[in-house]
Amino acid sequence: MRWSQYFLVTLREAPGDAEVVSHKLLARAGMLQKVAAGIYSFTPLGLRSLRKMTEIVREEMDRSGALEVELPIAQPKELWVESGRWDRYLNEGILCHLEDRKGTEFALAPTAEEAVTDMVRRSVTSWRQLPFNLYQIRTKFRDEIRPRFGLLRGREFLMKDAYSFDVDQKGLDVHYVKMEKAYRAIFERCGLEYALVQADSGAIGGSASEEFMVVADTGEDALVFSEDGKYGANIEKAVTAPLPEPWAGEDARPFGEADSPTPGLITCEDQARHLGTTVDRITKTMLYEAVREDGSAFVCAVLIRGDLDVNEVKLPKALGAVHARLVAEEKLPEISGCRPGFVGPIGLKPPRGQAEVPVYVDRSMENARNVWCGANREGLHHSGFSPRRDVKVAGVVEVATARDGDPSPTGTGVLRIKRGIEVGHIFKLGTKYSVSMKCEVADPQQKMVPLVMGCYGLGIGRTVAAAVEQNHDDDGIVWPVPLAPYACAVLALQRDKEVLDAAEKLYADLSAAGVEVFFDDRDERPGVKFKDADLIGFPVRVVVGGKALAKGVVEVSTRREKKAEGVPPAKVVEVVKATLAAGARTLAV
C-alpha cells in the first residue's frame, strides 16, 4: 500500500482532550478520530490493527470449540426486566436505552446475557443438547458518566462476549478452564505482558470471576500481587492477611465520652497528631446509603481504621446490597448531627422508616480497644472506644482497600501493587440468569433444572489501546508485530529515479513474499518520513537513500531498537521475514 494513495494524516500535536498515551498516539498516528465523548471512528490504518486483534480472538475462540453467533444490539426492555438488570443498570446510570415510535423501550446492550439466554431457552429442552459455548464479536454501549482515556473507557466499544451453557457446575468448570486457556493464548499471540487476577463480579453477577490485565505503568487499575507469586487480585477484590493490631495485649480502658477535643481538625492524620496517638487508633465512621436486591434502601455505618480506606466495590456484597454510596454531605447532620470529620457510631439517628442505623465493623477493627471515634459533635471525639463493647455490631466485614506492603493472604511476604489495564473478564455466572429467565432443561432423571452459565468478555479495541500503553516510547508507538497495521515500511528518501526504482522493487518483492508492507512514496523531507514512521510504529523499517545505494545497501532497522544495518537489496526480503518471525526485537542480519 502506497501512502500517496492512502487516507492517512498524522498530527504533530495530540488532541487537547487526550489524557493517556494510547489516545494521544493513536490520534496522532492518524488511526483514531473522536466523533463524540467516548465514541470514535477508526481510519483505514486503525481498522487494520482492530481487525488483526479481532481475527486472533476469533481463531482462538473457534479453536476452543466455541460457536459464533450474532445477537441484537437493541434488546427489548422485557428481557432486562426478567433478569432484574433493567432497574439496577438505570440506577447505576450505565444503561443506554431508547424508545421506538410505538413507545417500546430497548436497551442498547452493554452485554448480552439476556439475549443469549433467550435464544437458548427457545430451542434447548434436554441435557443431551448440552454443553456448548456461544460467542459474538459485536459493538456494545455503556453510558459512562465521564468517558475518558480514549478506547480505554468509551461509551461505544467493540467486544467479544461468550456464554457457556452446562447442565451442572462440573461442566461450567470445564468451560471456565477452556476460556482461561483461550485468553492466555490470545494475549500471548498479541505479544503482551499480562496477569490473571481475582476480580469482583460487579453488575454481571455470579460466584467467581477473574480479570486478564495488561501490565502497564500507565494503567488505570491497580493490581495486587504477593511477593511469592501465589496470589494476584485487582484492587477491588484484593484481601490481606490480618494486619498488626496496635492495641494487642492492652486491657480495655473506660469509655471517655466526648473528652477529647479536636477543634477544627477534619482529617484522621491531624486528629491523631493533636491527640498524641497514631492514625490507626482513629476510627473512621462512614455512613452509607445501600439498596438491597428487592429495591429497599437503608442507611448504615461502617467503622474502619483511620489509616485504611473503604473499598466501595467490596462493600455492597459485604452489606448484602446491590450497591452502596456515601450519604450526601448535606444529609449528614440529619443522621449524625455534625459535619464530616466528627461523625461517630454512637447516637446516630435513623432516617424515617428505619428502626436503627446498623453498625458494621471492618475486620481491621474487630478486636479494637482504646481507640478514638467521633462524638457526633463538632470538634469532639470519644476516647477509650472499644467497638464490641460500646456499640451493637451488626456484622464484621472485610472491606478495607489493600495497600502496598500489607501482609499477603498467602501467609508469606507482603503485597506489591502494579498498574494494569483490564482487557478480559471471565465469570462463573451459575444460574443467576437461567433461574430468573426460566432457561431450563430436563436432566438425565427428567427433572427440569436451570442451566449453569459462564460469561467471558474481552475488549477488542481496549486490548489494542492497552498494547500501545505497554509498547511506546517518546517518539511514538512500538507495535507488537501481530497488532501492527503494517509489519514493514519502505521509505524512499529522494525522488531521483535510482532511489525510486530501488524502493519500488523492494516494495514489490516484499509484497510478493507475503510481507504486509507500507510504502512511503510521498514527496516529503526525510525527517518528516522518519518521524511519521516512528510515530506509527511499523515494526521493521527499510530506508532507501542515495548514499546507501551508492555503497550497495539499504538501511534496515527495527522500531524497538532503531539501530540501522546496511543490507544488500537482494537480501532484504530474507532479513525482514526473519526479523518479523523473531518478533522484530532484534534485526536478523
Query: Can you list the domains of the chain with their CATH numbers?
Result: 3-238+417-469 (3.30.930.10), 256-397 (3.90.960.10), 486-581 (3.40.50.800)
Nearest partner of 136 among 184, 71, 53, judged by Cα: 71
pLDDT of residue 206: 52
pLDDT tens string 38-57? 999 999 999 999 999 999 99
pLDDT of residue 232: 85
- State the DSSP H helix or E strand holding residue 56, giving kind and residue range, or none if neither: helix 44-64
C-alpha 87, offset from chain centre? 24
* Rounded Cα distance, 177 and 179, in Å: 5
Q: What nine digits make up the cell of 337?
A: 448531627
Let me know: does 87 contact 295? Beta carbons within 8 Å: yes
Q: Which residue has cell 479481532? A: 54
Neighbouring C-beta atoms of residue 358, cutoff 10 Å: 19
Q: Which residue has cell 462493600? A: 315
What letters, b where the CB count within 10 A reaches 16 and e where it falls short, cover 291-301?
beeeeeebbbb
* Rounded Cα distance, 572 and 589, in Å: 10
CA 505 to each of CA 490, 496, 569: distance values in angstroms, whole numbers, following the listed order: 10, 14, 9
Which regions in the chain score pLDDT beneath 70?
200-207
Phi, psi torsion values for 211, nearest 5 degrees: -110, 145
- Which residues have C-beta within 8 Å of that of residue 274, sequence separation ≥ 6? 262, 265
- Which residues have C-beta within 8 Å of that of residue 364, sequence separation ≥ 6? 243, 304, 305, 308, 400
Nearest partner of 22 among 477, 582, 488, judged by Cα: 477
Length of the chain, in residues? 589
CA 498 to each of CA 46, 504, 523, 545: distance values in angstroms, whole numbers, following the listed order: 33, 10, 15, 9
Strand pairing of 476-477 and 448-450?
Answer: unpaired
What letters, b where the CB count within 10 A reaches 16 and e where it falls short, cover 224-235?
bbbeeeebbbbb
Residue 122: DSSP 8-state:
T
- Cα atoms found within 13 Å of the Cα of residue 1, Cβ hemisphere only: 16
Burial of 392 (0-12, 13-18, 19+ CB in 10 A): exposed
Q: Which residue has cell 443431551? A: 128
Partner residues linked to 41 by β-bridges? 33
Residue 218: DSSP 8-state:
T
Name the 3-class secondary structure at 270.
helix
Let me know: does 422 contact 337? Beta carbons within 8 Å: no
pLDDT tens string 111-132? 999 999 999 999 999 999 999 9
* Rounded Cα distance, 254 and 563, in Å: 73
- DSSP codes joined into one string, 453-474: EEEEEEEHHHHHHHHHHHSEET
Nearest partner of 517 among 529, 503, 531, 499, judged by Cα: 503
What letters, b where the CB count within 10 A reaches 16 and e where it falls short, cover 396-410?
bbebbbbbeebbbbe
What is the 3 state secondary structure string of 504-547? Answer: HHHHHHHHHCCCCEEEECCCCCHHHHHHHHHHHCCCEEEEECHH
Whether this prediction's pTM lies above 0.85 is answered by no
Residue 197: DSSP 8-state:
E
Residue 18: DSSP 8-state:
-
Burial of 363 (0-12, 13-18, 19+ CB in 10 A): middle
pLDDT of residue 202: 55
